[in-house]
Amino acid sequence: MSWLYARALIVLTVVLVLVLATLFAALPPV
């Protein structure tokens, strides 16, 4: 059971890193 959560958290981490990296590169500095 906990393995499913672990897998989901790994996928979530990778997706969030990619989203944040894209936003960082695309958006101008504040």
Partner 1 sequence: MRKTLRAILWIGVYLALALGPLILLLVMPRPPQREFWREVAVALGFAGLSLMGLQFIPTARLGFLADVFPMDTTYYFHHWTSVAATVFIVAHPLILIANNRYVLILFDLANAPWRARAGITAGVAVIGLTVLSVWRKEFKLTYEPWRLLHNLLAIGATGLALWHIFGVRYYLASPVQRVLWTALPAVWGGLLGYVKLYKPWHMLQHPYRIKEIRKERGDCWTLAIEPVGHAGLTFEAGQFAWLTIGKSPFVIREHPFSFTSSAERAGSLEFTVKELGDFTSRLKEFEPGTPVYVDGPYGEFQIGRSINVRDEHEAPGYVFLAGGIGSAPVMGILRTLADRGDERRLYLFYGNYDWEQVTFREEIEALRRRLNLEVIHVLEKPAPDWEGERGYITAEVLDRHLPDDRQALVYFICGPIPMIHPVRSALRQLGIPRGRIYEERYEMA
- Report the distance separating Cα 6 and Cα 25, nearest Å: 29
Structure tokens at 30: 């504040």
The answer to whether 21 contacts partner 1 (rule: CB under 8 A) is yes
Examine residue 10 and tell whether it contacts partner 1 (CB under 8 A).
Answer: yes
Residue 15 binds partner 1, judged by CB under 8 A? no
> Across the chain, how many H-helices and E-strands are there?
1, 0
Give the total of residues touching partner 1 (CB under 8 A). 24
Where on the chain is the footprint of partner 1 (CB under 8 A)?
1-3, 5-7, 9-10, 12-14, 16-17, 20-30
